[in-house]
Amino acid sequence: MPDKEGDKPEIDRKARMKIPLEEQKARPSEVRVKDFEPTFIPLTAEEAMRAAERCIHCPDPAPCTLACPGNNDIPAAMWLIEQGDFIGAAEIYRKTSSMPEICGRVCPHEDMCLGSCPRNKRGEPVITGPLEVFVTDYQREHGTVEIPVGPSTGKRVAIVGSGPAGLSCAEQLRQKGHDVTIFEAAPSPGGLLLYGIPNFKLAKEVVFARIGDLEQAGVEFVNLTRIGESKTIDDLFEEGYDAVFVGVGTGIDATMDVAGMDLPGVYQATEFLIRANVDQEHLPEDKDTKPEVGRRLVVVGGGDTASDCLRSALRLGAEEVTCLYRRTEAEMPGGKKDRELAKEEGANFRFLTQPIRFIAGPDGRVSAVECLQCELGEPDDSGRRRPMPIEGSNFTVEADTVILALGYWPDPLIGDTTPDLETHKWGLIVADPETGATSRQGVYAGGDGVTGPATVVTAMVDGRKAAAAIDEYLSKN
Ligand SMILES: Cc1cc2nc3c(=O)[nH]c(=O)nc-3n(C[C@H](O)[C@H](O)[C@H](O)COP(=O)(O)OP(=O)(O)OC[C@H]3O[C@@H](n4cnc5c(N)ncnc54)[C@H](O)[C@@H]3O)c2cc1C
């Protein structure tokens, strides 16, 4: 029996189509809602091999590979998994991904590899994400995870921001032998992997392990340093860096212009999520306590962040947790899977509801949200039907805590402090989508700070593309 990639026998697709789907099991909702531990139970080796055998090995290029922003060779990994070569499969992912252990957990697979699987026609796709997690965890437990460092080039690259874009750029540049220093504004590296995505979706140990690999490979981390404040990008060049990659994300929470926004008990999503999910040692001093949620908690917004807030609130002990959203469920931007998990855990959803005022109770803390009922009008610029508040339809929803999960804006700091760096009017950095090159020579950018809020995998891919372009630039300069 052939046992390696590229040495596959004739695939009996009909037989494989008969292998039934086994979904990855979640912990029961009433159990998982009591802690912040991972939602899903890891696959066993036998489950992984059975699941991989369901791949029908579509002719090249496979739709799953095309649908993956990193173009992971998923069929090759599936083939090795079904042979039991889990470490070989992990190495397949590592060829094209700088953080497969993280992407396997958090990618919106339904919109990417899993969504493109032809077995979806019967609602039975190959469970690509859990298999990526299984093999990369297996590799860490039973093998070694090492970033191969290239011979030193003597060139120095500064990376601004340590989210997936910055970390992936660093991983690729070290492989080319360049010295890399990452400057990070927060107390610890990781960006939204640490200070955003909740633990029940992505355990922090997984992030720390990958950051540990980078440290091992010689990447230097300088935390608590906001470039644009204590030093600028021009200062970095003066200090002797030969190129700079900017991966600063979109760290400013969107707000709404309504009365009562500054009442105690009204939180921005980011502050709420980091205080709920991050250990004290990684938090700034003014945010290092768990939020007091009270009994009734309201989340305003309809994206993935809203689901993360609902689920975190339930884990902090809130009894009645309700999402208020201006449109209907059909227009919600957040992923269905996270919303279903939130519902299973007890979150309520109130659609066509527009908050217009946060009301203080006798103790001065928020106690209710005044809302208007909405109906749907014509589609707006986003293509979704516009919510139209109905005059006189006012009603209140009681709330001891309100969380605003309304989206994110870029911080204009880097654009404002870097002469000739072109930005869009909203503050996003203008960069070539294939190379990350900006209007400033030697300055590259990628991730959410260029695209606007997107995903871990797209930021990761941007970081890798920019690293390739920086390597080429450094070879000529
Ligand atoms: C609550 C939440 C949940 C999410 N869940 C998912 C999910 O399940 N799956 C998914 O794929 N995506 C998810 N995302 C989106 C994903 O996290 C982002 O798309 C991704 O992290 C963007 O990576 P990045 O490297 O561009 O930026 P970030 O991860 O935002 O990292 C940017 C880093 O730059 C630092 N920084 C900013 N300015 C400066 C400066 N001037 N100097 C130094 N450092 C600076 C910041 O402190 C931060 O550490 C989620 C986002 C949020 C907010």
Report the 3 state secondary structure along the chain. Answer: CCCCCCCCCCCCHHHHHCCCCCCCCECCHHHHCCCCCCCECCCCHHHHHHHHCCCCCCCCCCHHHHHCCCCCCHHHHHHHHHHCCHHHHHHHHHHHCCCHHHHHHHCCHHHCHHHHCHHHHHCCCCCHHHHHHHHHHHHHHHCCCCCCCCCCCCCEEEEECCCHHHHHHHHHHHHCCCEEEEECCCCCCCHHHCCCCCCCCCCHHHHHHHHHHHHHCCCEEECCCCECCCECHHHHHHCCCCEEEECCCCCEECCCCCECCCCCCEEEHHHHHHHHHCCHHHCCHHHCCCCCCCCEEEEECCCHHHHHHHHHHHHCCCCEEEEECCCCHHHCCCCHHHHHHHHHCCCEEECCEEEEEEEECCCCCEEEEEEEEEEEEEECCCCCEEEEECCCCCEEEECCEEEECCCEECCCHHHHHCCCCCECCCCCECCCCCCCECCCCCEEECCHHHHCCCCHHHHHHHHHHHHHHHHHHHHHC
Which CATH code, of 2.60.120.10, 2.40.30.10, 1.10.10.10, 1.10.1060.10, is assigned to 13-142? 1.10.1060.10
- Check if the beta carbon of residue 245 is closer than 8 Å to that of residue 156: no
pLDDT of residue 283: 84
pLDDT average, residue stretch 195-201: 96
- Ligand 1 closest atom vs CA 201: 8
Once rounded to an integer, what is the mean pLDDT over residues 417-425? 94
Query: Residue whose CA is closest, atom 9 of ligand 1?
Result: 106
Supply the residue whose CA is at minimum distance from atom 8 of ligand 1: 106
Ligand 1 centroid to Cα of residue 452, in Å, is 10
Look at residue 363 and tell me whether its pLDDT is greater than 80.
Answer: yes
Instruction: State the pLDDT at residue 289.
Output: 82
Cα dihedral angle (117, 122, 123, 126), rounded to 10 degrees? Answer: -40
pLDDT band, very low/low/confident/very high, at 286 (cuts 50, 70, 90)? confident
Residue type at position 220: E
State the CATH class of domain 156-251+410-476: alpha beta
Kindly report the protein residue whose alpha carbon is nearest to atom 35 of ligand 1.
161
How remote is the CA of residue 388 from the centroid of ligand 1, in Å?
A: 32
Provide the pLDDT for residue 2. Answer: 41
Give the integer Cα–Cα distance in Å for 332 and 345. 19
Does the CB atom of residue 278 touch ligand 1 within 6 A? Answer: no
Taking residues 209-217, report their average pLDDT: 98
Query: 459 CB less than 6 Å from ligand 1?
Result: yes
- How far, in Å, from the CA of 476 to the mean position of ligand 1? 31
Residue bearing the CA closest to ligand 1, atom 19? 455
Q: Whose CA is nearest to atom 20 of ligand 1?
A: 456
pLDDT at 1: 35
Ligand 1: which residue has its CA nearest to atom 5? 197
Task: Give the mutation target among 197, 201, 287, 337 for probing the ligand 1 site: most ligand atoms within 8 A of CB.
Answer: 197
Best substitution site from 414, 417, 428, 456 to test ligand 1's pocket, by max atoms within 8 Å of Cβ? 456
141 class by beta-carbon count within 10 Å (0-12 exposed, 13-18 middle, 19+ buried): exposed
Average pLDDT over residues 229-248: 97
Q: How far apart are CA 129 and CA 292, in angstroms?
A: 34
Instruction: Locate CATH 3.50.50.60 in the chain.
Output: 156-251+410-476, 252-408
Question: Can you state the angle between helices 74-83 and 45-52, rounded to 10 degrees?
Answer: 130
Query: Length of the chain, please?
Result: 477
Provide, rounded to the nearest whole percent, the portion of the chain with pLDDT above 70. 98
How far does residue 236's CA lie from ligand 1's centre (Å)?
22
Instruction: Tell me the C-alpha distance between 98 and 171, whole Å.
Output: 7
Ligand 1 in contact with 178 (CB < 6 A)?
Answer: no
- Find the mean pLDDT for residues 274-292: 85
Is there an atom of ligand 1 within 6 Å of 461 CB? no
């809130």: which residue's tokens?
Answer: 318
For the chain, where do the domains classified as CATH 1.10.1060.10 start and end? Answer: 13-142
Return the pLDDT at 288. Answer: 75
User: Is residue 218 predicted with pLDDT exceeding 70?
Assistant: yes
pLDDT at residue 7 is higher than 70: no
d(CA 169, CA 184): 14
CB–CB of 445/147 below 8 Å? no
Residue 384: pLDDT over 90: no
What's the mean pLDDT when you consider all of the chain?
95
- Which residue's CA is the closest to the ligand 1 atom numbered 53? 196
Query: What is the reported pLDDT for 6?
Result: 55
What is the average pLDDT across 332-359? 94
pLDDT confidence bin for 280, thresholds 50/70/90: confident
Cα separation of 426 and 180, whole Å?
29
Whether pLDDT at 450 is above 90: yes
Check whether 89 has a pLDDT greater than 80: yes
- Nearest residue (by CA) to ligand 1, atom 10, is 455
pLDDT band at 3 (very low <50, low <70, confident <90, very high): very low
Section 138-153 average pLDDT: 96
CA of 163 to the centre of ligand 1 (A): 5
List pLDDT tens digits, range 311-338. Answer: 999 999 999 999 999 999 999 988 888 9
- Establish whether residue 222 lines the binding site of ligand 1, counting it when its CB lies within 6 angstroms of any ligand atom: no
Ligand 1 atom closest to the Cα of residue 450 is: 26
Triad 174, 178, 183: Cα angle to 5°: 80
> pLDDT tens digits, residue range 426-436?
899 999 999 99
Section 412-422 average pLDDT: 96
CATH of 252-408 among 3.50.50.60, 3.40.50.300, 3.40.50.720, 3.40.50.740: 3.50.50.60
Mean pLDDT, range 126-141, rounded to an integer? 98
CB atoms within 10 A of CB 256: 13
> What CA–CA distance (Å, rounded) separates 140 from 136?
6
Interval between CA 299 and ligand 1 midpoint (Å) = 21
